[in-house]
Amino acid sequence: MSKEALAVKKAEQAFDRKRRTIGLFGGPLLAILVFLTPIEALTVPGHKLLAIMVLVALWWITEPVPIPVTSLIGPTLAVVTGVVSVKAAFAAFANPMIFLFMGGFILAKAMMKHGLDKRFAYWLLARKWVGSNPKRIFLACGLAAALCSGWVSNTATAAMMFPICLGLLTSIKEMFAANGREIDLHEYKYATGLMLMTAYSCSIGGVLTPIGTPPNLIMLGFLNTMCDIHISFFEWMTWGFIAMVVYFVIAYVVLSHMFPADVDHIEGADTFIQNKLAELGAWNRAQKNTLLAFAVAVLLWIMPGILSIGLGSASPELKMYNTLFPEAVAAMVGALLLFLLPVDFKTRRFTLTWKEAMEGIEWGTLILFGGGLAMGGMMYQTGLSQWVGDLIVAAMGGEPSQVGMVAIFSVMALLLSELTSHTAATNMIGPLAITAAVSAGISPIPVSVGIALSASLGFMLPVSTPPNAIVYASGYIPITKMIHTGVIIDFVGIACVTIPLVIYFVSWMVG
């Protein structure tokens, strides 16, 4: 690790310690002060919940205890203080969205266990149009990361792509050494750019599908529980695909311009990829079963869109299909097939074991997701959300425009997700934005989509997202370079993609 990286790490550790200490004591103290402050416009349950929300929000940001633990503290305190019944407090943890995520985690685990993610990445990098051209390798690595992370967690995708990129950079170093030129990859611009492109693409790809990253499902869950608005998997993908493509183009243009390659050919790069692809061997039964289960889930997810186009959005066939195969059931059908499709029936060995599936489920994310939905639902039940929404609308001049609403909450989501978990940031901002939009007489869908998309644009710091942290550990990325490129891509993305997309395209789609 370089001296600069070591100094940054020590500074981060010192900052985290202070942040957690302040939050540990400051959170409860501020919550008590909020509860003791008279607020006539709030009911007693709403006032109690406001104090609990202050504690939960501060602990989500400062993390004195693990974020999932804080997500359980909120509903627990709501029951203990008499805000709601235990059934109402914990009902959100059985929300169908939880099982949609769970099914996605199990499918992703099978894909990683049996190497489908690596097979796809190496297949893409082995295409003839890629070859040994550094610009095309740069593009292909980004594409592989983005497309994988639409279905597999961004952390797992980054962990998969990281050694691939290291291998390619080693080929570059060996090529230069053979030609009598020694390079230090820690100071080589192309190495920095390739690592950043990989990390950023993992986050960008997450916007493609509802299961690509937690903020997507969280906002869909809030819309469903607070406004009774259902956004289908296919509808989200129509927005997510456009956002992913434009975000990706912005990242590629910025990074390829700032970190260009100084050669036109990387000798040995194509051989490295071909050898890695050959090492995977022929498709085995487990891989074929996993691909079948994944294909079934995807087909069930997009079928409502196909039926809507072919038969109309009001057709009885579409209504029946949505009743029988909602997104959560589609995910579980695909996941459950993994336990039924045999690899070796004689020995009763199937594609995935229960132990392997449990290791693939990110329980902390599910708990955080459920806790966020629980707090959002209680805010709505107690009238707290309406009170907060009215305050926000009044602070914005009484009649905020849709452009202003989307812009403000998108930037808030972006800035908060740079400093804390984007899942926690979405849980905090989501209910406030939805109630503010409703209070202002504006559709909550555009602002919800804007928050979800913006929360995925945490590119400035190593702590912003797990992919950033993974590639930063290589030592090839100076912290100043990450901050510089992150600021540019973050705000260009907000200004050129998020706000126009959700205002014009999403508004047009929802009529």
How do residues 201-210 score in pLDDT, each as one tens digit?
Answer: 999 999 999 9
Cα–Cα distance measured from residue 506 to residue 503, given in angstroms and rounded to the nearest whole number? 6
Cα–Cα distance measured from residue 416 to residue 429, given in angstroms and rounded to the nearest whole number? 9
261: burial class by Cβ within 10 Å (0-12, 13-18, 19+)? buried
Token pair recorded at residue 453: 């998309």
Could you give the C-alpha distances from 389 to 125, 131, 226, 386, 446, in angstroms and in order? 49, 54, 13, 5, 16
| Residue 90 confidence class, pLDDT cut points 50, 70, 90 | very high
Short-list 400, 407, 396, 404, CA closest to 494: 407
Residues 13-43 as b/e (b if ≥16 CB within 10 A, e otherwise) read: eeeeeebeeebeeebbebbeebbeeeeeebe
Residue 288 pLDDT > 70: yes
pLDDT of residue 5: 59
Residue 511 pLDDT > 60: no
Short-list 192, 161, 313, 312, CA closest to 254: 192
Beta carbons within 8 Å of 466's beta carbon, 6+ residues apart? 154, 155, 158
How do residues 91-107 score in pLDDT, each as one tens digit?
Answer: 989 888 889 889 988 99
Short-list 127, 198, 132, CA closest to 171: 132
How do residues 461-509 score in pLDDT, each as one tens digit?
Answer: 787 788 888 888 888 888 888 888 988 888 888 777 677 766 666 666 6
pLDDT of residue 507: 64
pLDDT of residue 478: 82
Q: Please state the rounded mean pLDDT for residues 343-369.
A: 88
Q: Please state the rounded mean pLDDT for residues 367-388.
A: 86
Cα–Cα distance measured from residue 82 to residue 139, given in angstroms and rounded to the nearest whole number? 55
pLDDT of residue 63: 85
Report domain extents, the chain.
1-83, 87-114+284-362
Q: How much is the pTM?
A: 0.83
11 C-beta neighbours (distance < 10 Å), count:
11
Could you give the C-alpha distances from 84 to 71, 79, 94, 378, in angstroms and in order? 16, 6, 17, 8
| Residue 122 confidence class, pLDDT cut points 50, 70, 90 | confident
Q: Please state the rounded mean pLDDT for residues 356-375.
A: 87
Cα–Cα distance measured from residue 284 to residue 188, given in angstroms and rounded to the nearest whole number? 40
| Residue 85 confidence class, pLDDT cut points 50, 70, 90 | very high
Most confident of 252-256, 358-362, 401-405: 252-256
Cα–Cα distance measured from residue 431 to residue 366, given in angstroms and rounded to the nearest whole number? 18
Residue 285 pLDDT > 80: yes
Q: Write down the mean pLDDT value for the chain.
A: 86
Q: Per residue, what are the HEC states of 187-244?
A: HCHHHHHHHHHHHHHHHHHCCCCCCCCHHHHHHHHHHHHHHCCCCCHHHHHHHHHHHH
pLDDT of residue 509: 60
Indicate the range of 6-15, 94-103, 209-218 predicted with least confidence: 6-15
Residues 391-401 as b/e (b if ≥16 CB within 10 A, e otherwise) read: ebbeeeeeebe
Reported as type and span, the H/E element at residue 349 is strand 349-350
Most confident of 82-91, 418-427, 502-511: 82-91
Q: Please state the rounded mean pLDDT for residues 184-213.
A: 87
Contact 333, 341 (CB under 8 A): no
Cα–Cα distance measured from residue 220 to residue 244, given in angstroms and rounded to the nearest whole number? 18
| Residue 55 confidence class, pLDDT cut points 50, 70, 90 | very high
Q: Please state the rounded mean pLDDT for residues 243-271.
A: 85
Cα–Cα distance measured from residue 15 to residue 377, given in angstroms and rounded to the nearest whole number? 33
Cα–Cα distance measured from residue 420 to residue 466, given in angstroms and rounded to the nearest whole number? 11
Q: How far is C-alpha 446 from the geometric centre of its chain's CA atoms?
A: 18
Contact 218, 430 (CB under 8 A): yes
